[in-house]
A and B are shown apart, each in its own frame.
Chain A
Amino acid sequence: MKLLTLNFLTCAIKTCKTSPASFPLHPRDAELEIIESEINLPFLRNILPRLMWEEIRVIASELGLPSLPTTPPTREDLVEGASQAQATEQAEGEAVAEVEEVPSQTAKDLHRILLETGIKEGKLVCGNCAHEYKVMEGVANFLLPGHLV
């Protein structure tokens, strides 16, 4: 399961939803896998406002991934030489936008973390109730035993 998915998941136990500690779920004993995919720069740029950056940083650090910057990247950070291109545009008054944009290292790193890195096996733990959800063959199981429903 992709790490970006964790941006939209919480503990399945009803009473946990109101507690801020139920998000994000914390990976534990995780075996990671990398499934490469084509980078989609417009998507990455647009998704930035939806990312719960602090929580993604926490997840990345818990998984032992290279640490993410404290502040989220800006749209400009994702394009190689974006500031330069803007300057050219101003100087010549021509549309430089038609030139194909090259993803920056920041964009590649973000793509790798959010969409290419997945939890193959392991657990996701609620920070509020400590319930553990198993991940098996890349599928997280949020079904609760009868007494917790």
Chain B
Amino acid sequence: MSSISYWIVSTAHFRILCWLRHSNMLPTPSTSHVCFDRVYEPAEDSFLLLDTLSSASESGFLKDRFNAESGAPPLVLEVGVGSGVVLAFTAANAKSIFGRQDVLTLGTDINSFACKAASQTVRTALNDNVNPASTFLDVVNGDLASSIRPHSIDVFIFNPPYVPAELPNFTHHDRYSVLPPGKDATSFEQDSYLLELSYAGGEDGMVVTNRMLNQIPELLDVGRGVAYVLLCAQNKPELVKEQIREWGVGWEAETVGSSGKQAGWEKLQIVRIWRNLK
């Protein structure tokens, strides 16, 4: 085998390995249409969410919680969808993750470009799907889950801006959220601002996450609601979990997925938040 053809074969092999690793053999949705200059590109954190939701233990938990006898179709909400890779994965693999196809998916993002890109990602993933499809609603432009009807969410997913970095200045949001008048491309300042929204989390990287956590009890379905929130080591995850358990009777928070172990510290982790009323 000539060296060049060996290179091609091994590159293809590597790609297949990545593809399998990232999703427990469930395909990763395509985001090739997304402009990553202004929308967060799928990264280790996104893939950790895919791996965790499709892991044997989590899909077991979700299948048990949302079995056919548990009632009407579950509504999955992802806040801050970015490229839409996580929501699309959930929509396309509803049967593997929840054990049922009649799942509804809904997203929000503060970045209007992300809203359009993510909708496209979910639609493409569902069209490519060989299994009967779940039902995608929309991605709405908004601040966290502020526009969602209370107690209507069964499964909540959040990959927050978790980096300890100064929050962007929101003063120009309206202007930065649309194409400049008469132009067909965003400016460099605009792109920088939109990407900052996707990662900068203020003090301890927790300012946005704390605002979101405060809304969770009002957002989740009282009986079967469950939330998945990604945290990084600098977010002080043990403290965050302690605080959630103090929300009231039955509230639980456990780490159900992690990646990037460094000197005994998990760099990233997924915390499952739910209420055990039994």
Contact = CB atoms under 8 A, between A and B. Distances in A.
A14 B71 CA distance: 29
A139 B139 CA distance: 7
Interface of A: 1-2, 4-5, 7-12, 14, 17, 23, 38, 40, 42-43, 46-50, 115, 133, 137-144, 146, 149
Chain A binding surface SS class: mixed
A140 to B, nearest CB: 5
B148 interface: yes
Contact of B141 (A43, A140, A149): A140
Given A42-B101, A149-B143, A8 B73 contact: no
Interface of B: 71-73, 75, 101-102, 104, 106, 108, 110, 112, 115-116, 119, 132-133, 135, 137-143, 146-150, 152, 170, 173-174, 177, 218
28 contacts: A2-B138, A4-B137, A5-B137, A5-B138, A8-B106, A14-B146, A23-B149, A40-B133, A42-B101, A43-B101, A46-B72, A46-B73, A47-B72, A47-B73, A47-B135, A48-B72, A50-B73, A138-B138, A139-B116, A139-B140, A140-B138, A140-B140, A140-B147, A142-B140, A142-B142, A143-B141, A143-B174, A143-B177
Contacts of A137: 116
A46 B102 contact: yes
Nearest to A35: B123
Nearest to B141: A141
Contacts of B106: 5, 8
A5 B104 CA distance: 10
Contacts of B152: 8
